[in-house]
Chain A
Amino acid sequence: MEVTINNIRKEFERFPALNDVSLKIASGELIALLGPSGSGKTTLLRLIAGLDFPTGGQIFFGDEDASHHSVQERNVGFVFQHYALFRHMTVAENIGFGLKVRPSSSRPPKSEIRRRVSDLLDMVQLGGLEKRYPNQLSGGQRQRVALARAMAIEPRILLLDEPFGALDAKVRKELRRWLREFHDRTGHTTVFVTHDQEEALELADRVVVMSQGKIEQVGSADDVYDRPGSPFVFSFIGESSHLPVEVKEKTVFFQGQPIGISEAAAGGGELFFRPEDISLVEAQDALFGKVTACRRLAGTRIAEIDIANDGHAPYHVEVEVPLHAPVALGSEVRFRPTRWKVFENA
């Protein structure tokens, strides 16, 4: 099911939570809404589900304007961060709930419900746990029950609100891979909300980066990591440092000195670069500063560098240095970004 979101606005008692958001979700796509808390990602998901209604704008399911359809009419699968299982029902009763509450005209017979429930349990690899109650299951199992319950109603789209947020790191990684396989097998249009960029980048076909009620960038993992479209995306996704610079005659100047890199656009701006995208140099036209700390990070070593700022608090940047040639604390290093982006001051 294709979902089109047109100029959606949502205000909570005059506080704007979403500001003119538009997004097109293709059928069968796995999309991540990524952003810090308060960015409006969960609000957007709830608007798609019909758990909240927009202040303005429309939501289309295919060609059908669903903006004012109730949550029951929309037939969406929704998975909550804290599972929201019915704790007085067994696993089987939880999964079958959506079928049992249908009006008698469209309700499948009991035997059919039982068959569907057991199929779904097999699909989420929980066969044999029909009779358990939710509090007898682990967090990962509960979330899979919640997913099976959402799938039971044959939803037009599947929405997941921080589905792995309450799980520990190891289970989260397993479930992440499992969800990707599950999606590839069932082909449901899926939207999930997360604040974990690793999760979004690894899992999603496309990542929607959100901040302060707006969409900052939509793109594949490569797009948002390698070609960030805004200062926010650059600093939110991955590690990065930034310095105020000026561009004159296609040369980048920092504190009035050329630093050996060039840029097309002229004017003042902010230079962004990632720790791994630098090279240590001997040349005079480069950035330089004092090493204040050095830490090992898995396969790399990160040096924290303070760049003097003329009596003000020094600029703080982080760069990756070779493992085999550790830099001494307090020593001066000179480096140039090898990949960077200058965002003009707004």
Chain B
Amino acid sequence: MTQTATASPAKWRLKQPSIIPGFGLTLGFSLAYLSLIILIPVAGLLWRTAELGWSGFFSVFADRRTLDALYISFGTAFLAALVNVVFGTILAWVLTRYNFPGRQLVDAMVDLPFALPTAVAGIALASLYAPNGWIGSLFMPFRIAFTPLGIVIALVFIGLPFVVRTVQPIMEEIDREVEEAAATLGANRFQTILRVILPGLTPAILTGFALAFARGVGEYGSVIFIAGNIPYVSEIAPLLIVIRLEEFNYAGATAIATIMLLISFLMLLVINLIQAWSRRRYGNV
């Protein structure tokens, strides 16, 4: 009797008493912080864009220069992220699986693109790949710098650590025994990697891809030096935003920004859905 009496009020209590207190405080802090850092600026962006009205917004969107810039930004970021997924995974593999002199040095070097000011990276890459640069001159008359290919190279440089650093810890966790089990069952190395190891890494690789891609879309500093910034050919969307700002066309700039935001949001949503699917499919990684 006493038991039911004490148990019943708990039923309609909103907050379940928890062993870890402070839920209200931390959630409140998180929401306030997120509002300050993300929601308010994004709202400001949308509000500024709204000044244009629908027709103004669509005219920015329908502008060939805008479309080409968006196409170049997203296309090069996508390609660079793909390249990074392949080589970043191989690099992570080398770093986790083998012990060789200088391994730690290589490991530290992976983080360089994180730390280096992007403009420095851009200038260095541009002078290397320019038609008269060390590497660029080897490929003449085929031009690397000042074309979309140059943008891809800059974005590969910028995005590499994102893939390596997401894949590496998961790779370190792979149980040696699983590979040995595959070997005792008759699988050769190639089959083991393709059928046993890679499926387990898929969610991490997708995350690395998403991060490298998102970073690539927003990258500015390293790209503008190597891109050549030719409208309709190698002009990226963030640069077009800066150009519009310099023309005091704030609404036009925020409109492009809003479009980028929407596309990025959609692509990240899709990647997240794929990730959720692959987590279900390939287990919790």
Q: Which residues of A contact B (CB under 8 A)?
A: 49, 51, 71-72, 75-78, 80, 82, 84-88, 97-98, 101-102, 133-135, 146, 149-150, 152-153
Contact = CB atoms under 8 A, between A and B. Distances in A.
Contact of A78 (B181, B196, B200, B281): B181
Given A80-B177, A84-B177, A97 B187 contact: yes
A135 B181 contact: no
Given A84-B175, A88-B281, A88-B282, A98 B180 contact: no
A-B CB proximity, top 5 nearest: A98-B185, A88-B282, A84-B177, A87-B283, A84-B181
B195 interface: yes
25 contacts: A51-B184, A72-B183, A72-B184, A72-B188, A76-B184, A78-B180, A84-B178, A85-B178, A86-B182, A87-B200, A87-B282, A97-B182, A97-B185, A97-B195, A101-B186, A101-B188, A101-B191, A101-B195, A133-B283, A135-B283, A135-B284, A149-B185, A150-B184, A150-B185, A153-B185
B177 A72 contact: no
B199 A82 contact: no
Contact of A72 (B181, B187, B281): B187
Nearest to A75: B186
Q: How large is the interface on B (under 10, 10 to 19, 20 to 34, 35 or more residues)?
A: 20 to 34
Given A88-B281, A98-B186, A80 B200 contact: no
A102 B199 CA distance: 19
B187 A86 contact: no
B175 A82 contact: yes
A76 B181 CA distance: 10
Nearest to A79: B181
A33 to B, nearest CB: 17
Contacts, number: 69
Contacts of B281: 88
Interface of B: 175, 177-178, 180-188, 191, 195-196, 199-200, 281-284
B180 A84 contact: yes
A80 B176 CA distance: 11
Nearest to B176: A84
A114 to B, nearest CB: 17
Nearest to B202: A88
A77 B184 CA distance: 7
A320 B206 CA distance: 64
Contacts of A51: 180, 183-184
A205 to B, nearest CB: 23
Nearest to B187: A101
A288 B181 CA distance: 56
Contacts of A135: 283-284
A151 B197 CA distance: 22
Contacts of B284: 135
Contacts of B187: 72, 97-98, 101
A135 B200 CA distance: 14
Contacts of B182: 86, 97, 101
Contacts of A78: 180-181, 184
B170 to A, nearest CB: 13
A86 B178 CA distance: 7
Given A82-B175, A86-B181, A87-B282, 4 more contacts: A85-B178, A101-B186, A101-B188, A135-B284
A27 B129 CA distance: 68
A238 B191 CA distance: 46
A248 B283 CA distance: 70
Contact of A88 (B177, B184, B188, B283): B283
Contacts of B181: 78, 80, 84-86, 146, 149
Nearest to B184: A78
B285 to A, nearest CB: 9
Contacts of A134: 283
A71 B183 contact: yes
